[in-house]
Amino acid sequence: MQRLTMEEKVALLAGTDIWHTPPIARLGIGAIKTSDGPSGVRGKFAVDGPKAAFVPGPVCQAATWSLSQIYSLGRLLCKEAKTKSAHVLLAPTICCARNPLGGRNFECFGEDPFLSGRLAVEYVKGVQESGEVAATPKHFVANEQEHLRFNINAVISDKALREIYLRPFEVLICSASPPDCIMTSYNCVNGEHLDMNSRIIRDILRGEWGFKGLVMSDWGGTNSTLESLLAGLDLEMPGPPERRGRKLLDAIEQSNYDPKLMAALDESVVRVLRLARKHGLLGLSPEDAEKTRDSQEISCTTPEDIKLMRDIAASGIVLLKNSQQTLPLKARSLAGKQVAFIGPNALDGTPGGGGSATMNPQYLSRPMESFRAVAMTHGIDVTVKHTLGAYARKWLPLFSESQWAVNGHNPSQNLVRVDYYLSNDLSGPTKETQFRGSSNVDMSDSSPLDFQVDPVPAYSFRITSTVTPSKSGRHTFSLSSVGGSRLYVDGKLIIDNGSWTEPGETFYAFGSAEATGTTKMETHQKYNITVEGWATRPDGIYTADANHVFAAHPSVRIGYLEELPTPEAMIDEAVALADESDATIVVIGLSDEWESEGYDRKDMALPGAQNQLVEALAKRAKRPHSIVYVNQSGSPVEVPWIHDVSTFVQAWYGGQEAGNALADVLLGYTNPSGRLPCTWPQKYSDLPFEADPESWPGVGETVLYKEETQVGYRWFNHNPDVTPQWWFGFGLSYTSFSTTLIRVRESEDSWTVHVDVDNTGAYPGQQIVQVYVWPNQTPQDKALVGIEKTSLIQPGNRECVTLNIRTRDAARWVSGRWVIDGGIYSLGVGTGVGEASDSVISLDVKGHSWGPEEY
Ligand code: BGC
């Protein structure tokens, strides 16, 4: 500290580029490297970087309700972070699934603050245990929507803030293994942006909860120079600094080296240095290159790691309906038979949601192919056959390796060639050429290094590739871009997106709406495709209001779709395929195009003609009970046909092991043990949002959290005129359990709860013991206070489970304190809130209260 100059201190308090803090070579201080999070550890490139383990999505992790699996996952993520030379993992996301339309719900642990907090504790323990990687829970706090996320002002009562939104962070920060870092959210809470919200950072986080670690802003979420520093925000991210750097130096000078400011500055510098020291960065060592844990390169993705990802993806799968016992499929009787795979997610499936949680996976396991392969490893040879059934994309598909190639290059690595020009009209010499493996060409982190400077120069690029159509027809191309773009097929202009005005949702919602154009093409003929992209204005500003770090570079997403049959013809083909098959798996749902950072869903319906597909199969197929419906999504979708189908499975997004895990469950090699981490409404209009834009997504830049603490199951418990499709905590198994509360031992600040779980069915299985507490006077105030997952219990066997529950976890926030009113309470165990099987014991509870700093 003493050897640092003022300039160096200030430099340490902001990033130097998108992922690093600045090194100070003179003093041997190395750069701290951060990396997203939370579906794996991606490394520095958003799309095309070195491959990484794509772990099951966070909401799927939460659906396991397994503390031990989440801890093991944390350890795996620590190993992954090291392969990307990252010291800081930007995860977990522990905001609340307030509304099923929230774009980032897939990234969170669901709707319940206790479940989120408990899982986060295990996750962070696993990530940080070896001392090599820091975890960064985010986004602190109340980032429940993407609409206007940079500035939206969430107006929340103190009670709702404490009991719901701050709560998971409190459980984590006050645990025995607090995180080393925390990331503030973009939004405002009660009028103040989080980066400078001294009430929340200084008073609550640091004051009441005693957080000693580093507080960083979300990317581009530092909104002030002095206020953020005084509030206790240590690090502006990313760099180069927008609000600090020169501006902070000037402000310090102007304040005449105000002692209060100097003290805040020093405190923040100490916290950055402490983190650097913990990661061996005091004493300069050059950063290692990024690697993948690919089997060819290094053998870090061990069979144990692959098994863990597969087990988590399978344990998170929730069996929601199985009224004809169609599942598990009788694997042996499928030998030599045909299984149909129908639906938009049946072939490729969706491994995860979009945005900064995107990964470049080491490999993918896909629903249909994995089903065949998993059956085969058990000696069962099945024939699989696919038809789409319904088209459900938001944007046209990206280029596929089977049809696209850059002439003369290995197609699997090089789907497109990009030539860059240091002009905004493609004039002048080629500055650099890159080959890329995706037609989602995001330049913000991977344009030539000469362009990764501040300010970004006005530049342009030409993308070339060739396509060989698999059939003749009128095929469609699409472009959406930050900056201008045009697409040519064999030299003919097909799309001119040069002066777009309608914004879309690509590139974190900074890109244009998708522009499309069609052209007639012949099968097996090769066509040259050229796309040009450029800075819209010579001063290097690419969109109308693009001052944001994500809009500083031109980027383009190119789509291609071959002519499809009509929706009716696709459905007819699906019904015919189901009829000629011995079993049918319909994989429907959402994808990373529908659920992503940057935007929310517009409604809760399945997109495209998916409902019509299911309805047709349910009504017209000859053997409707041989059909299994599987949904992939990070949030509930409306299932208006649920009474017409006998089987329904919620598979979330399972990462690179999604296909294998699904096959394990469908074939019965894994008995599903997932439970919903969010209540599943029957319809969106049952929630308090549809008729009230002030509550969602807000009017102007204000959103009112009017439902107060009544989020998820708490809403349904307080509004008995609406019932959910399935309650929070619900999930079936191939076996049955009897879960009985045996006794509760009360001490001053805890309840020791003994529960017997008997496997009363025919399959080995795991049960989740869920403990809820409610005052007898107000049973609608039921809240989860304890969770434990049993081991695999054999049929006829019993497992005795003991849980230690802190009474403070049942307290409510009243006038600045945590309070339990004296009186008679019920403590019950059950499968899901609202399920009839609660085994209940009455408790005579003495009133008690705790100060805000007591946890
Ligand atoms: C996201 C963060 C992420 C950061 C860096 C932001 O837009 O909100 O979750 O960690 O970008 O990619």
Summarised one tens digit per residue, pLDDT across range 148-191 is: 999 999 999 999 999 999 999 999 999 999 999 999 999 999 99
How many Å lie between the centroid of ligand 1 and the Cα of residue 356? 6
Alpha-carbon span 44 to 35, nearest angstrom? 7
Which pLDDT does position 298 carry in this prediction?
Answer: 41
Residues 585, 346: contact at Cβ < 8 Å?
Answer: yes
Ligand 1 atom 7: residue of nearest CA: 219
CA of 138, closest atom in ligand 1: 9
How many Å lie between the centroid of ligand 1 and the Cα of residue 90? 8
Between these two residues, 503 and 340, which has the higher pLDDT value?
340
- Ligand 1 binding pocket includes 112 (Cβ within 6 Å): no
How many Å lie between the centroid of ligand 1 and the Cα of residue 477? 30
Ligand 1 atom 6: residue of nearest CA: 219
Among 359-363, 473-477, 506-510, 547-551, name the most confident range: 473-477
CA of 149, closest atom in ligand 1: 8
Mutate to test the pocket of ligand 1, among 18, 356, 359, 445 (most ligand atoms within 8 A of CB): 356
Mutate to test the pocket of ligand 1, among 218, 444, 550 (most ligand atoms within 8 A of CB): 218
How many Å lie between the centroid of ligand 1 and the Cα of residue 357? 8
- Ligand 1 binding pocket includes 37 (Cβ within 6 Å): yes
Average pLDDT, the chain: 94
How many Å lie between the centroid of ligand 1 and the Cα of residue 183? 9
- Ligand 1 binding pocket includes 219 (Cβ within 6 Å): yes
Residue 834: pLDDT band (50, 70, 90) is: confident
Q: Of the candidates 441, 356, 287, 507, which has an alpha carbon nearest to the alpha carbon of residue 40?
A: 356
Alpha-carbon span 121 to 167, nearest angstrom? 12
Q: Which amino acid is at 306?
A: I
How many Å lie between the centroid of ligand 1 and the Cα of residue 855? 30
Residue 37, preceding peptide bond in cis (omega within 30° of 0): yes
CA of 186, closest atom in ligand 1: 8
How many Å lie between the centroid of ligand 1 and the Cα of residue 510? 15
Residue 560: pLDDT band (50, 70, 90) is: very high
Helical residues (DSSP H) of 671-771, grouped into ranges: 713-718
Q: What is the mean pLDDT of residues 337-343?
A: 98
**Could you give the 3-state DSSP secondary structure of residue 467?**
strand
Q: Which amino acid is at 554?
A: P
Flag whether pLDDT at 411 surpasses 80. Answer: no
Which pLDDT does position 544 carry in this prediction?
Answer: 45
- Ligand 1 binding pocket includes 162 (Cβ within 6 Å): no
Q: What is the mean pLDDT of residues 708-723?
A: 97
- Ligand 1 binding pocket includes 356 (Cβ within 6 Å): yes
Flag whether pLDDT at 657 surpasses 50. Answer: yes
Whether 381 is a known active-site residue: answer: no
Residue 838: pLDDT band (50, 70, 90) is: confident
Flag whether pLDDT at 244 surpasses 50. Answer: yes
Alpha-carbon span 366 to 370, nearest angstrom? 6
Q: What is the pLDDT of residues 718-773, one digit of tens each?
A: 999 999 999 999 999 999 999 999 999 999 899 999 999 999 999 999 999 999 99
Which pLDDT does position 445 carry in this prediction?
Answer: 83
Which pLDDT does position 332 carry in this prediction?
Answer: 81
How many Å lie between the centroid of ligand 1 and the Cα of residue 200? 20
DSSP per residue over 427-444, as a string? -SSEEEEEEES-SEE--T
Phi and psi angles of residue 690, each rounded to the nearest 5 degrees, phi first: -60, -40
How many Å lie between the centroid of ligand 1 and the Cα of residue 121? 21
CA of 508, closest atom in ligand 1: 7
Ligand 1 atom 12: residue of nearest CA: 356
Ligand 1 atom 3: residue of nearest CA: 356
Ligand 1 atom 4: residue of nearest CA: 219
CA of 139, closest atom in ligand 1: 9
- Ligand 1 binding pocket includes 184 (Cβ within 6 Å): no
Flag whether pLDDT at 475 surpasses 60. Answer: yes
To which H or E segment does residue 743 belong? strand 737-746
- Ligand 1 binding pocket includes 138 (Cβ within 6 Å): yes
Which pLDDT does position 830 carry in this prediction?
Answer: 84
Flag whether pLDDT at 443 surpasses 60. Answer: yes
- Range name among 56-65, 245-254, 326-335, 535-544 with the lowest pLDDT average: 535-544
Mutate to test the pocket of ligand 1, among 597, 599, 600 (most ligand atoms within 8 A of CB): 597
- Ligand 1 binding pocket includes 90 (Cβ within 6 Å): yes
How many Å lie between the centroid of ligand 1 and the Cα of residue 352? 16
Alpha-carbon span 123 to 75, nearest angstrom? 8
Ligand 1 atom 11: residue of nearest CA: 219
Q: What is the mean pLDDT of residues 2-14?
A: 97
- Ligand 1 binding pocket includes 149 (Cβ within 6 Å): no
Q: What is the mean pLDDT of residues 313-327?
A: 97
**Could you give the 3-state DSSP secondary structure of residue 336?**
coil
Flag whether pLDDT at 129 surpasses 60. Answer: yes
Residue 286: pLDDT band (50, 70, 90) is: low
Which pLDDT does position 288 carry in this prediction?
Answer: 62
Which pLDDT does position 289 carry in this prediction?
Answer: 63
The contacts of residue 398 (CB under 8 Å, 6+ apart) are 438, 439, 440, 557, 558, 559, 560
Q: What is the mean pLDDT of residues 3-13?
A: 97
Flag whether pLDDT at 334 surpasses 80. Answer: yes
Q: How many CB atoms lie within 10 A of CB 755?
A: 24
How many Å lie between the centroid of ligand 1 and the Cα of residue 13? 18
The active-site residue out of 48, 180, 195, 218 is: 218
Which pLDDT does position 402 carry in this prediction?
Answer: 83
Strand pairing report for 817-820 and 812-814: antiparallel
Ligand 1 atom 9: residue of nearest CA: 356
CA of 143, closest atom in ligand 1: 8
The contacts of residue 801 (CB under 8 Å, 6+ apart) are 754, 755, 756, 757, 769, 788, 790
Mutate to test the pocket of ligand 1, among 42, 94, 219 (most ligand atoms within 8 A of CB): 219
Alpha-carbon span 409 to 652, nearest angstrom? 36
**Could you give the 3-state DSSP secondary structure of residue 550?**
helix
Residues 655, 351: contact at Cβ < 8 Å?
Answer: yes
Ligand 1 atom 8: residue of nearest CA: 218
Which DSSP letter does residue 585 get? Answer: E
Alpha-carbon span 292 to 772, nearest angstrom? 43
Which pLDDT does position 409 carry in this prediction?
Answer: 60
Residue 295: pLDDT band (50, 70, 90) is: very low
Q: What percent of the chain has pLDDT over 90?
A: 87
Flag whether pLDDT at 821 surpasses 60. Answer: yes
CA of 356, closest atom in ligand 1: 12
Q: Give the predicted TM-score (pTM) of the model.
A: 0.95
Flag whether pLDDT at 471 surpasses 70. Answer: yes
Q: What is the mean pLDDT of residues 293-316?
A: 79
Flag whether pLDDT at 86 surpasses 70. Answer: yes
Which pLDDT does position 297 carry in this prediction?
Answer: 44
Which pLDDT does position 381 carry in this prediction?
Answer: 96
Handedness of CA 326, 327, 331, 335 (dihedral sign): positive
- Ligand 1 binding pocket includes 36 (Cβ within 6 Å): yes
